[in-house]
Structure 1
Amino acid sequence: MTDRDYNAPPLNPLPWIVWALALPLIAVEIVVQLHAMGLAGGGVSSNWRLEAVQYFAFVPDWFRDDLATGRLAERGYRLISYVLVNASLTSTVFSVVMLLALGKMVGEVFRWWAVALVFIAAAALGALAYAYAIPGNQIPIIGTFPAVYGLIGAFTFMLWVRLAATGGTQARAFTLIGFLLGFQLLFGMLFGGNWEWVADLAGFATGFLLSFVVSPGGWSRVQARMRER
Protein backbone atom coordinates (compact mmCIF):
# COMPACT_ATOMS: atom_id res chain seq x y z
CA MET A 1 0.00 0.00 0.00
CA THR A 2 1.19 3.52 -0.75
CA ASP A 3 1.14 6.31 1.76
CA ARG A 4 -1.82 8.62 1.41
CA ASP A 5 -2.11 12.20 2.58
CA TYR A 6 -5.56 12.42 4.13
CA ASN A 7 -5.07 16.14 4.74
CA ALA A 8 -4.66 16.90 1.04
CA PRO A 9 -7.50 18.89 -0.54
CA PRO A 10 -9.97 16.81 -2.62
CA LEU A 11 -9.42 19.11 -5.62
CA ASN A 12 -6.16 20.52 -6.88
CA PRO A 13 -5.99 24.13 -5.70
CA LEU A 14 -6.45 26.80 -8.36
CA PRO A 15 -4.69 30.16 -8.53
CA TRP A 16 -6.93 32.79 -6.95
CA ILE A 17 -7.06 34.83 -10.16
CA VAL A 18 -8.74 31.91 -11.94
CA TRP A 19 -11.53 31.88 -9.37
CA ALA A 20 -11.77 35.68 -9.62
CA LEU A 21 -12.41 35.33 -13.35
CA ALA A 22 -14.75 32.35 -13.08
CA LEU A 23 -16.98 33.38 -10.16
CA PRO A 24 -18.75 36.27 -11.98
CA LEU A 25 -19.70 33.86 -14.79
CA ILE A 26 -20.97 31.33 -12.27
CA ALA A 27 -22.89 34.00 -10.34
CA VAL A 28 -24.68 35.30 -13.45
CA GLU A 29 -25.73 31.79 -14.47
CA ILE A 30 -26.94 30.93 -10.96
CA VAL A 31 -29.12 34.04 -10.84
CA VAL A 32 -30.55 33.27 -14.29
CA GLN A 33 -31.31 29.67 -13.31
CA LEU A 34 -32.89 30.64 -9.98
CA HIS A 35 -35.19 33.07 -11.77
CA ALA A 36 -36.09 30.44 -14.39
CA MET A 37 -37.14 28.14 -11.53
CA GLY A 38 -39.20 30.89 -9.91
CA LEU A 39 -36.88 31.14 -6.92
CA ALA A 40 -35.69 34.69 -7.59
CA GLY A 41 -37.28 37.83 -8.98
CA GLY A 42 -40.87 37.02 -8.17
CA GLY A 43 -41.84 34.69 -10.99
CA VAL A 44 -40.81 33.76 -14.50
CA SER A 45 -42.81 36.30 -16.47
CA SER A 46 -39.57 37.83 -17.75
CA ASN A 47 -36.49 36.14 -19.20
CA TRP A 48 -33.48 37.21 -17.17
CA ARG A 49 -31.04 35.61 -19.61
CA LEU A 50 -32.47 37.75 -22.39
CA GLU A 51 -32.29 40.82 -20.18
CA ALA A 52 -28.67 40.03 -19.35
CA VAL A 53 -27.95 39.67 -23.07
CA GLN A 54 -29.54 43.08 -23.73
CA TYR A 55 -27.38 44.69 -21.04
CA PHE A 56 -24.05 42.89 -21.54
CA ALA A 57 -23.89 41.82 -25.22
CA PHE A 58 -21.40 43.36 -27.60
CA VAL A 59 -23.25 44.90 -30.55
CA PRO A 60 -20.96 45.70 -33.53
CA ASP A 61 -23.21 48.45 -34.91
CA TRP A 62 -23.41 50.23 -31.57
CA PHE A 63 -19.65 50.07 -31.07
CA ARG A 64 -18.89 51.43 -34.54
CA ASP A 65 -21.37 54.24 -34.06
CA ASP A 66 -20.10 55.09 -30.58
CA LEU A 67 -16.51 55.11 -31.83
CA ALA A 68 -17.41 57.42 -34.70
CA THR A 69 -19.32 59.83 -32.46
CA GLY A 70 -16.96 59.75 -29.48
CA ARG A 71 -19.47 58.16 -27.10
CA LEU A 72 -17.57 55.03 -26.12
CA ALA A 73 -17.88 55.93 -22.45
CA GLU A 74 -21.58 55.04 -22.56
CA ARG A 75 -21.38 51.47 -23.87
CA GLY A 76 -17.68 50.75 -24.17
CA TYR A 77 -17.91 48.31 -21.27
CA ARG A 78 -19.57 45.86 -23.66
CA LEU A 79 -16.16 45.13 -25.20
CA ILE A 80 -15.59 42.94 -22.16
CA SER A 81 -18.95 42.48 -20.42
CA TYR A 82 -20.31 40.18 -23.13
CA VAL A 83 -18.25 37.32 -21.70
CA LEU A 84 -20.39 37.33 -18.54
CA VAL A 85 -23.48 35.84 -20.15
CA ASN A 86 -23.68 32.68 -22.25
CA ALA A 87 -26.44 31.40 -24.47
CA SER A 88 -27.36 28.45 -22.24
CA LEU A 89 -26.50 26.59 -19.05
CA THR A 90 -24.54 24.04 -21.09
CA SER A 91 -22.47 26.77 -22.69
CA THR A 92 -21.72 28.32 -19.30
CA VAL A 93 -20.68 24.99 -17.80
CA PHE A 94 -18.41 24.20 -20.73
CA SER A 95 -16.88 27.70 -20.62
CA VAL A 96 -16.25 27.56 -16.88
CA VAL A 97 -14.71 24.08 -17.06
CA MET A 98 -12.33 25.22 -19.81
CA LEU A 99 -11.53 28.41 -17.90
CA LEU A 100 -10.69 26.48 -14.72
CA ALA A 101 -8.60 23.87 -16.51
CA LEU A 102 -6.66 26.25 -18.75
CA GLY A 103 -6.46 28.91 -16.04
CA LYS A 104 -4.82 26.41 -13.70
CA MET A 105 -2.18 25.40 -16.26
CA VAL A 106 -1.43 28.96 -17.34
CA GLY A 107 -1.76 30.41 -13.84
CA GLU A 108 0.88 28.04 -12.48
CA VAL A 109 3.43 29.63 -14.84
CA PHE A 110 2.19 33.17 -15.49
CA ARG A 111 1.83 35.84 -12.84
CA TRP A 112 -1.73 36.60 -11.71
CA TRP A 113 -1.88 39.91 -13.56
CA ALA A 114 -0.67 38.27 -16.76
CA VAL A 115 -3.51 35.72 -16.61
CA ALA A 116 -6.04 38.51 -16.08
CA LEU A 117 -4.53 40.59 -18.89
CA VAL A 118 -4.61 37.70 -21.36
CA PHE A 119 -8.25 36.96 -20.50
CA ILE A 120 -9.44 40.59 -20.74
CA ALA A 121 -7.36 41.50 -23.80
CA ALA A 122 -8.55 38.39 -25.65
CA ALA A 123 -12.16 39.33 -24.89
CA ALA A 124 -11.71 42.92 -26.09
CA LEU A 125 -9.71 42.16 -29.24
CA GLY A 126 -11.98 39.25 -30.05
CA ALA A 127 -14.93 41.64 -30.00
CA LEU A 128 -13.07 44.17 -32.17
CA ALA A 129 -12.22 41.51 -34.73
CA TYR A 130 -15.85 40.40 -34.75
CA ALA A 131 -16.96 43.99 -35.37
CA TYR A 132 -14.53 44.85 -38.15
CA ALA A 133 -13.43 41.63 -39.86
CA ILE A 134 -16.93 40.83 -41.14
CA PRO A 135 -18.32 43.55 -43.44
CA GLY A 136 -21.74 44.79 -42.32
CA ASN A 137 -21.87 42.49 -39.30
CA GLN A 138 -24.79 43.50 -37.06
CA ILE A 139 -25.29 40.35 -34.97
CA PRO A 140 -24.55 40.79 -31.23
CA ILE A 141 -22.08 38.46 -29.63
CA ILE A 142 -22.14 36.93 -26.14
CA GLY A 143 -20.21 34.16 -24.43
CA THR A 144 -16.93 33.49 -22.67
CA PHE A 145 -15.20 31.59 -25.46
CA PRO A 146 -13.14 34.43 -27.00
CA ALA A 147 -11.56 35.07 -23.59
CA VAL A 148 -11.07 31.35 -22.97
CA TYR A 149 -9.42 31.08 -26.37
CA GLY A 150 -6.97 33.69 -25.11
CA LEU A 151 -5.95 31.24 -22.40
CA ILE A 152 -5.68 28.54 -25.06
CA GLY A 153 -3.30 30.88 -26.87
CA ALA A 154 -1.20 31.31 -23.73
CA PHE A 155 -1.18 27.55 -23.13
CA THR A 156 -0.16 26.99 -26.76
CA PHE A 157 2.70 29.44 -26.25
CA MET A 158 3.87 27.42 -23.24
CA LEU A 159 3.81 24.20 -25.27
CA TRP A 160 5.54 25.91 -28.18
CA VAL A 161 8.41 27.10 -25.97
CA ARG A 162 8.72 23.68 -24.33
CA LEU A 163 8.86 21.89 -27.67
CA ALA A 164 11.45 24.38 -28.90
CA ALA A 165 13.57 23.62 -25.84
CA THR A 166 13.34 19.85 -26.20
CA GLY A 167 13.78 19.75 -29.96
CA GLY A 168 10.23 18.61 -30.60
CA THR A 169 8.05 19.55 -33.55
CA GLN A 170 6.71 22.98 -32.61
CA ALA A 171 3.69 22.62 -34.88
CA ARG A 172 2.31 20.08 -32.40
CA ALA A 173 1.62 22.95 -30.00
CA PHE A 174 -1.16 24.12 -32.31
CA THR A 175 -3.03 20.81 -32.37
CA LEU A 176 -5.66 21.89 -29.82
CA ILE A 177 -6.53 25.18 -31.50
CA GLY A 178 -6.59 23.49 -34.91
CA PHE A 179 -9.06 20.89 -33.68
CA LEU A 180 -11.34 23.42 -31.96
CA LEU A 181 -11.46 25.86 -34.86
CA GLY A 182 -11.92 23.05 -37.36
CA PHE A 183 -14.90 21.80 -35.37
CA GLN A 184 -16.39 25.31 -35.21
CA LEU A 185 -15.98 25.88 -38.93
CA LEU A 186 -17.64 22.55 -39.70
CA PHE A 187 -20.48 23.31 -37.29
CA GLY A 188 -20.96 26.73 -38.87
CA MET A 189 -21.13 25.29 -42.40
CA LEU A 190 -23.64 22.62 -41.38
CA PHE A 191 -25.96 24.80 -39.29
CA GLY A 192 -25.67 28.26 -40.81
CA GLY A 193 -23.30 31.17 -40.97
CA ASN A 194 -21.91 31.41 -37.45
CA TRP A 195 -19.11 34.00 -37.45
CA GLU A 196 -18.27 33.80 -33.75
CA TRP A 197 -15.18 31.78 -34.63
CA VAL A 198 -13.65 35.06 -35.83
CA ALA A 199 -13.74 36.39 -32.25
CA ASP A 200 -12.40 33.08 -30.95
CA LEU A 201 -9.50 33.08 -33.41
CA ALA A 202 -8.68 36.69 -32.54
CA GLY A 203 -8.80 35.78 -28.85
CA PHE A 204 -6.40 32.91 -29.43
CA ALA A 205 -3.99 35.10 -31.41
CA THR A 206 -4.13 37.73 -28.68
CA GLY A 207 -3.30 35.22 -25.96
CA PHE A 208 -0.47 33.66 -27.96
CA LEU A 209 1.18 36.93 -29.01
CA LEU A 210 0.68 38.64 -25.65
CA SER A 211 2.49 35.73 -24.00
CA PHE A 212 5.71 36.84 -25.67
CA VAL A 213 5.51 39.90 -23.41
CA VAL A 214 3.77 38.81 -20.20
CA SER A 215 5.12 35.28 -19.70
CA PRO A 216 8.00 34.85 -17.23
CA GLY A 217 11.11 35.81 -19.16
CA GLY A 218 9.06 36.89 -22.15
CA TRP A 219 10.68 37.11 -25.55
CA SER A 220 14.20 36.88 -24.12
CA ARG A 221 13.38 33.44 -22.76
CA VAL A 222 12.10 32.30 -26.15
CA GLN A 223 15.27 33.56 -27.83
CA ALA A 224 17.45 31.78 -25.30
CA ARG A 225 15.59 28.52 -25.87
CA MET A 226 15.99 28.93 -29.64
CA ARG A 227 19.75 29.48 -29.28
CA GLU A 228 20.06 26.32 -27.19
CA ARG A 229 18.89 24.34 -30.20
Structure 2
Amino acid sequence: MQEENPFNSIPAVPLIMVLVIAGIELTLSAADNGIIGGAQGIGWRSAAFQDYAFAPAVMTEIFERGRGSFDLWKRFVTYPFVHISFTHALWAVVLLLALGKFVGEAFRPFAFVALFAASSTLGAAVYGMLSWQNAPLLGAYPGVYGLIGAYTYLMWLALDRIGENQLKAFQLIAILLGIMLVYAMIFGSTPTWIAEVAGFLIGLFVAPLLAPGGWAAFLTRVRKR
Protein backbone atom coordinates (compact mmCIF):
# COMPACT_ATOMS: atom_id res chain seq x y z
CA MET A 1 0.00 0.00 0.00
CA GLN A 2 1.43 3.37 -1.06
CA GLU A 3 1.39 6.08 1.58
CA GLU A 4 0.19 9.52 0.55
CA ASN A 5 2.65 12.38 0.98
CA PRO A 6 1.03 14.76 3.53
CA PHE A 7 2.51 17.76 1.72
CA ASN A 8 0.50 16.89 -1.41
CA SER A 9 -2.69 18.01 0.32
CA ILE A 10 -1.34 21.50 1.11
CA PRO A 11 -1.85 24.13 -1.61
CA ALA A 12 1.34 25.29 -3.31
CA VAL A 13 1.36 28.93 -2.16
CA PRO A 14 1.23 28.35 1.63
CA LEU A 15 3.65 25.45 1.21
CA ILE A 16 6.15 27.71 -0.57
CA MET A 17 5.77 30.32 2.19
CA VAL A 18 6.43 27.67 4.82
CA LEU A 19 9.52 26.43 2.98
CA VAL A 20 10.91 29.97 2.72
CA ILE A 21 10.31 30.68 6.42
CA ALA A 22 11.72 27.29 7.45
CA GLY A 23 14.76 27.71 5.22
CA ILE A 24 15.59 31.12 6.67
CA GLU A 25 15.07 29.92 10.24
CA LEU A 26 17.13 26.75 9.80
CA THR A 27 19.96 28.85 8.37
CA LEU A 28 19.85 31.33 11.28
CA SER A 29 19.53 28.55 13.87
CA ALA A 30 22.49 26.72 12.38
CA ALA A 31 24.48 29.97 12.49
CA ASP A 32 23.40 30.58 16.12
CA ASN A 33 24.87 27.20 17.05
CA GLY A 34 28.10 27.68 15.12
CA ILE A 35 27.29 25.02 12.53
CA ILE A 36 27.67 27.45 9.63
CA GLY A 37 29.19 30.89 9.28
CA GLY A 38 31.85 30.44 11.91
CA ALA A 39 32.27 33.21 14.47
CA GLN A 40 30.49 35.71 12.24
CA GLY A 41 27.47 33.41 11.86
CA ILE A 42 26.50 33.96 15.49
CA GLY A 43 25.61 37.53 14.57
CA TRP A 44 23.52 36.70 11.51
CA ARG A 45 20.20 36.76 13.35
CA SER A 46 20.93 40.15 14.92
CA ALA A 47 21.99 41.46 11.51
CA ALA A 48 18.73 40.14 10.01
CA PHE A 49 16.79 41.97 12.74
CA GLN A 50 18.62 45.18 11.88
CA ASP A 51 18.07 44.82 8.14
CA TYR A 52 14.55 43.37 7.85
CA ALA A 53 12.52 44.04 11.03
CA PHE A 54 9.72 46.58 11.11
CA ALA A 55 9.38 49.11 13.94
CA PRO A 56 7.21 52.17 14.65
CA ALA A 57 10.27 54.33 13.97
CA VAL A 58 9.96 53.27 10.32
CA MET A 59 6.59 55.03 10.13
CA THR A 60 8.10 58.14 11.72
CA GLU A 61 10.97 58.24 9.22
CA ILE A 62 8.72 57.72 6.19
CA PHE A 63 5.65 59.80 6.96
CA GLU A 64 6.88 62.47 9.37
CA ARG A 65 10.41 63.05 8.17
CA GLY A 66 9.90 62.15 4.52
CA ARG A 67 12.76 59.67 4.38
CA GLY A 68 11.00 56.92 2.46
CA SER A 69 14.01 54.95 1.28
CA PHE A 70 13.80 51.42 -0.14
CA ASP A 71 15.43 50.11 3.04
CA LEU A 72 12.50 51.41 5.09
CA TRP A 73 9.67 50.49 2.71
CA LYS A 74 10.91 46.92 2.24
CA ARG A 75 10.47 46.20 5.95
CA PHE A 76 6.68 46.10 5.53
CA VAL A 77 7.10 42.89 3.51
CA THR A 78 10.35 41.39 4.85
CA TYR A 79 9.62 41.21 8.58
CA PRO A 80 7.20 38.22 8.32
CA PHE A 81 10.01 35.96 7.10
CA VAL A 82 12.47 36.57 9.96
CA HIS A 83 11.69 35.21 13.43
CA ILE A 84 13.01 35.83 16.90
CA SER A 85 13.88 32.21 17.63
CA PHE A 86 13.41 28.65 16.38
CA THR A 87 10.29 28.21 18.56
CA HIS A 88 8.87 31.50 17.32
CA ALA A 89 9.27 30.31 13.73
CA LEU A 90 8.03 26.79 14.49
CA TRP A 91 4.65 27.97 15.75
CA ALA A 92 4.31 30.29 12.76
CA VAL A 93 4.99 27.36 10.42
CA VAL A 94 2.50 25.10 12.21
CA LEU A 95 -0.26 27.72 12.05
CA LEU A 96 0.55 28.60 8.44
CA LEU A 97 0.35 24.95 7.41
CA ALA A 98 -2.97 24.40 9.18
CA LEU A 99 -4.64 27.61 8.06
CA GLY A 100 -2.93 27.53 4.68
CA LYS A 101 -4.57 24.23 3.88
CA PHE A 102 -8.06 25.36 4.87
CA VAL A 103 -7.93 28.89 3.44
CA GLY A 104 -5.70 27.96 0.50
CA GLU A 105 -8.23 25.40 -0.71
CA ALA A 106 -11.01 28.01 -0.68
CA PHE A 107 -9.06 30.96 -2.16
CA ARG A 108 -7.20 31.18 -5.44
CA PRO A 109 -3.38 31.44 -5.18
CA PHE A 110 -3.28 35.18 -5.98
CA ALA A 111 -6.08 35.87 -3.49
CA PHE A 112 -4.23 33.92 -0.80
CA VAL A 113 -1.04 35.92 -1.36
CA ALA A 114 -3.00 39.19 -1.40
CA LEU A 115 -4.75 38.27 1.85
CA PHE A 116 -1.50 37.42 3.63
CA ALA A 117 0.27 40.49 2.22
CA ALA A 118 -2.55 42.88 3.14
CA SER A 119 -2.76 41.53 6.68
CA SER A 120 1.03 41.72 7.12
CA THR A 121 1.64 45.17 5.64
CA LEU A 122 -1.46 46.92 6.98
CA GLY A 123 -1.09 45.15 10.32
CA ALA A 124 2.42 46.60 10.54
CA ALA A 125 1.14 50.05 9.57
CA VAL A 126 -1.53 49.98 12.28
CA TYR A 127 1.08 48.82 14.78
CA GLY A 128 3.39 51.63 13.71
CA MET A 129 0.64 54.20 14.25
CA LEU A 130 -0.71 52.93 17.59
CA SER A 131 2.28 51.43 19.41
CA TRP A 132 3.61 53.28 22.43
CA GLN A 133 6.96 51.48 22.20
CA ASN A 134 9.49 51.19 19.39
CA ALA A 135 9.61 47.40 19.78
CA PRO A 136 10.64 45.54 16.59
CA LEU A 137 7.96 43.56 14.77
CA LEU A 138 9.16 40.19 13.46
CA GLY A 139 7.52 36.99 12.28
CA ALA A 140 4.62 35.83 10.15
CA TYR A 141 1.99 36.23 12.88
CA PRO A 142 0.10 39.30 11.57
CA GLY A 143 -0.29 37.51 8.24
CA VAL A 144 -1.29 34.28 10.01
CA TYR A 145 -3.89 36.20 12.00
CA GLY A 146 -5.16 37.53 8.68
CA LEU A 147 -5.65 33.92 7.61
CA ILE A 148 -7.56 33.36 10.86
CA GLY A 149 -9.78 36.26 9.81
CA ALA A 150 -10.41 34.56 6.46
CA TYR A 151 -11.02 31.25 8.25
CA THR A 152 -13.56 33.00 10.48
CA TYR A 153 -15.36 34.37 7.43
CA LEU A 154 -15.47 30.92 5.79
CA MET A 155 -16.75 29.35 8.99
CA TRP A 156 -19.39 32.11 9.25
CA LEU A 157 -20.65 31.10 5.81
CA ALA A 158 -20.54 27.39 6.61
CA LEU A 159 -22.48 27.82 9.86
CA ASP A 160 -25.07 29.92 8.05
CA ARG A 161 -25.60 27.15 5.50
CA ILE A 162 -26.32 24.55 8.18
CA GLY A 163 -28.37 26.89 10.36
CA GLU A 164 -25.96 26.99 13.31
CA ASN A 165 -25.10 29.98 15.51
CA GLN A 166 -22.65 31.98 13.40
CA LEU A 167 -20.91 33.44 16.46
CA LYS A 168 -19.21 30.03 16.77
CA ALA A 169 -17.02 31.16 13.87
CA PHE A 170 -15.17 33.42 16.32
CA GLN A 171 -14.20 30.61 18.70
CA LEU A 172 -10.68 30.21 17.30
CA ILE A 173 -9.74 33.89 17.57
CA ALA A 174 -11.33 34.05 21.05
CA ILE A 175 -9.17 31.13 22.22
CA LEU A 176 -6.00 32.64 20.73
CA LEU A 177 -6.67 36.05 22.25
CA GLY A 178 -7.28 34.37 25.62
CA ILE A 179 -3.95 32.55 25.38
CA MET A 180 -2.26 35.80 24.37
CA LEU A 181 -3.74 37.57 27.40
CA VAL A 182 -2.67 34.85 29.85
CA TYR A 183 0.84 34.78 28.37
CA ALA A 184 1.12 38.56 28.66
CA MET A 185 -0.02 38.48 32.30
CA ILE A 186 2.57 35.82 33.19
CA PHE A 187 5.57 36.80 31.07
CA GLY A 188 4.82 40.37 30.04
CA SER A 189 4.50 41.51 26.45
CA THR A 190 5.28 44.18 23.91
CA PRO A 191 2.64 46.05 21.87
CA THR A 192 3.29 43.82 18.83
CA TRP A 193 -0.08 42.18 19.58
CA ILE A 194 -1.57 45.28 17.96
CA ALA A 195 -0.28 44.07 14.58
CA GLU A 196 -1.76 40.61 15.15
CA VAL A 197 -5.22 41.89 16.12
CA ALA A 198 -5.10 44.33 13.19
CA GLY A 199 -4.06 41.48 10.90
CA PHE A 200 -7.09 39.46 12.01
CA LEU A 201 -9.52 42.34 11.40
CA ILE A 202 -7.98 43.10 8.01
CA GLY A 203 -8.19 39.44 7.00
CA LEU A 204 -11.79 39.26 8.17
CA PHE A 205 -12.90 42.30 6.15
CA VAL A 206 -10.74 41.64 3.07
CA ALA A 207 -11.77 37.97 2.78
CA PRO A 208 -15.21 38.72 1.22
CA LEU A 209 -13.48 40.71 -1.53
CA LEU A 210 -10.94 38.00 -2.31
CA ALA A 211 -13.13 34.91 -1.90
CA PRO A 212 -14.51 33.26 -5.06
CA GLY A 213 -17.13 35.56 -6.53
CA GLY A 214 -15.71 38.57 -4.72
CA TRP A 215 -17.82 41.44 -3.50
CA ALA A 216 -20.72 40.64 -5.85
CA ALA A 217 -21.11 37.17 -4.34
CA PHE A 218 -20.92 38.66 -0.85
CA LEU A 219 -23.70 41.17 -1.61
CA THR A 220 -25.82 38.40 -3.11
CA ARG A 221 -25.51 36.38 0.07
CA VAL A 222 -26.43 39.41 2.19
CA ARG A 223 -29.52 40.17 0.07
CA LYS A 224 -30.78 36.60 0.42
CA ARG A 225 -30.84 36.86 4.21
Amino acid at match of 1:86: H
**CA–CA distance in 2 between the matches of 1:61 and 1:7?**
51
Normalization by structure 1: what TM-score? 0.90
Can you list the C-alpha shifts for 1:35-69, whole angstroms capped at 9, x where unaligned?
A: 12322112367322211111111021132222223
**CA–CA distance in 1 between the matches of 2:188 and 2:35?**
36
Question: Is the counterpart of residue 87 in structure 1 residue 88 in structure 2?
Answer: no
Equivalent residue in structure 1 for 2:94, among 79, 97, 102: 97
Partner residue of 2:46? 50
Question: Is the counterpart of residue 32 in structure 1 residue 28 in structure 2?
Answer: yes
Amino acid at match of 1:41: G
Deviates more, 1:152-161 or 1:5-14: 5-14
Question: How far is 1:82 from its partner?
Answer: 1.0
Give me the CA root mean square deviation: 1.9
Partner residue of 1:161? 157
Normalization by structure 2: what TM-score? 0.91
**CA–CA distance in 1 between the matches of 2:35 and 2:41?**
12
Structure 1 consecutive aligned stretches of length 4 or more whose deviation exceeds 4 Å? 226-229
Partner residue of 1:108? 105
Question: How far is 1:33 from its partner?
Answer: 1.6
> Which structure 2 residues correspond to residues 153-192 of structure 1 after superposition, within 5 A?
153-192=149-188
Pair 221,168 (structure 1): closer, same or farther in 2 beyond 3 Å: farther
Pair 216,49 (structure 1): closer, same or farther in 2 beyond 3 Å: same
- Structure 2: tracts of 5 or more residues without a match: none
Q: What SS does structure 2 have at the residue aligned with 1:130?
A: helix
Higher normalized helix content (fraction of residues): 2
Partner residue of 1:128? 125
Question: Is the counterpart of residue 71 in structure 1 residue 67 in structure 2?
Answer: yes
